Structure 1
Amino acid sequence: MIIEVIGTRLKDVKEAELFGADRVELCQSMSEDGLTPNYGLIKLAVESVGIPINVMVRPHNDSFVYDSDDLKVMCEDIRVIRKIGADGIVIGPLTNEGAIDEDVLQALLNEANGLEVTFHRAFDFVKDQKEAIATILKYKQITTILTAGGNGLATEFMTNLAGLVEHTKDTHLTIMPGHGLRMEDLAEFYQVVKPNALHFGTGVRVGHTFANGISKDQMKLIRGLLM
């Protein structure tokens, strides 16, 4: 079981490792659902902990549709992220029609050579999830799909998430449920969905807000349940 935790500050990254997280998704601007963090944070995060750091590459919150200028920015970000020494990136380009934009995706993967890749919750906005999985399966570099199972909280889509986990069980892809997961929902969620990885944001924060740090107590309870 992989427990991934969102980190938005250096303090978060250190606490995530200290309290038992297996990996950090590093991003900033959670009021905009997470954007590319600044290079200083990426560098110090990588230097400060031993657990993997996967960096969000998302230049804006307008949509998951990216034009040529957006692509240039994202490719430059990936070059810097790779040079700094992060372990992976988190991306998710879509077309206006709600499909995966393979042209943009391929360009980003070319820059990400050697990095682990997660396809983020843009997946929850595709028109056809099975078609999207078939597309993602063509790219061996993408190892994880972060998804709530739909446009809402992960607890609202448990049956669908269980189906996605089953659908990908014999592939190189891991379905990593996330969005709104909390300890009080976790026992039922884990029993129904049977995931191999889980993604936590405010659910492991003191007071369930990104304004506060990561809760040692919540992390202990979660690890105790899952491990």
Structure 2
Amino acid sequence: MSKIEIACFNPESAMTAFENGADRIELCDGLSEGGTTPDFETTKELREKINIPVFVMIRPRGGDFTYSESEFEQMQKDMLQLKSLKVDGFVFGILDENNQIHVEHNKILVEMAYPLPCTFHRAFDRAKGLEDSLEKVIGCGFKTILTSGQEPNVSDGKENLKKLVELAAGRIEILVGGGLRSTNIEEIRAFTNAGYFHSSAITDGGSFANANEIVALKNK
């Protein structure tokens, strides 16, 4: 049985994930942009109905992960607001203009989130250098990296994912996601030795998590 985080882009998906055995929810908005900061009221209402961990995305827009000063200020503001709702953690990732991990800005947000844990999201897959990026993310104080191994999806990235799990050596959780489905989770888990997996569980090209897919992911 795998530990599963479901990326939920709407409240309906979050309830489906909660009701069908997900271990954790990554709550975001903006499906077409790959996830942005969710609405405060939506998060508040969900928090009252769901008692599994809810990690909230802090991402002011789609596109790249290099943010202006005003966007960075927005991220700080959003984090403080959402932290007041007793969420369980945050998901974000900031790169500098050279596509390196922006140590200073990430550290500031990690410290603002404290004592809540933070996940560095798939901005990691755009960062240059596998080992160097891993060490920088650990140095910033993140607890988890969501990654497809710096490749477009987990199947292409499985060699790198295996390497990341080995290099991390328990210092940070490698959360495997990006094209992960119930059809490939067993193979990816066996190959990488990762312990936590991430999927939207959307199977029809729509925007809602599929209950059967969540159960299948969980039980593989």
- Judge same fold: TM > 0.5, yes or no: yes
Counterpart residue identity of residue 96, structure 2: T
**Is residue 197 of structure 2 the alignment partner of residue 198 of structure 1?**
yes
Which residue is equivalent to 1:85?
86
- Structure 1 runs of 4+ aligned residues shifted over 6 Å read none
Which residue is equivalent to 1:219?
214
Counterpart residue identity of residue 155, structure 2: T
**Is residue 185 of structure 2 the alignment partner of residue 186 of structure 1?**
yes
**Higher deviation after alignment, 85-94 or 179-188:** 179-188
User: In 2 relative to 1, CA 193–96 (structure 1 residues): closer, same or farther, beyond 3 Å?
Assistant: same
- Partners of 1:210 and 1:5 in 2: CA distance: 15
SS in 1 for 2:216: helix
8 A Cα contact 1:100 1:126, kept in partner: yes
Counterpart residue identity of residue 157, structure 1: G
Which residue is equivalent to 2:3?
2
- Partners of 2:113 and 2:37 in 1: CA distance: 15
Which residue is equivalent to 2:176?
177
**Is residue 6 of structure 2 the alignment partner of residue 11 of structure 1?**
no
8 A Cα contact 1:91 1:117, kept in partner: yes
**Higher deviation after alignment, 183-192 or 116-125:** 183-192
TM-score by length of 1: 0.92
Can you list the C-alpha shifts for 1:28-70, whole angstroms capped at 9, x where unaligned?
1110111111111111121110001100000012310112101
8 A Cα contact 1:45 1:53, kept in partner: no
Counterpart residue identity of residue 148, structure 2: A
Which residue is equivalent to 1:37?
38
User: In 2 relative to 1, CA 4–214 (structure 1 residues): closer, same or farther, beyond 3 Å?
Assistant: same
Which residue is equivalent to 1:95?
96
When the two chains are superposed, the root-mean-square deviation of aligned CA atoms in Å is 1.3
Gaps in structure 2 of 5+ consecutive residues? none
Can you list the C-alpha shifts for 1:58-96, whole angstroms capped at 9, x where unaligned?
001231011210111000000001111111110100011
Q: Summarize the alignment of residues 39-118 of structure 1 with structure 2, pairs less than 5 Å apart.
A: 39-118=40-119
Gaps in structure 1 of 5+ consecutive residues? none
User: In 2 relative to 1, CA 187–2 (structure 1 residues): closer, same or farther, beyond 3 Å?
Assistant: closer
Counterpart residue identity of residue 19, structure 1: N
TM-superposed CA distance for 1:151, in Å, is 3.5
TM-superposed CA distance for 1:206, in Å, is 4.5
| Identical residues among aligned pairs (%) | 28
- Partners of 1:180 and 1:121 in 2: CA distance: 12
- Partners of 1:123 and 1:182 in 2: CA distance: 20
Which residue is equivalent to 2:156?
156
User: In 2 relative to 1, CA 134–47 (structure 1 residues): closer, same or farther, beyond 3 Å?
Assistant: same
- Partners of 1:179 and 1:121 in 2: CA distance: 8
8 A Cα contact 1:93 1:104, kept in partner: yes
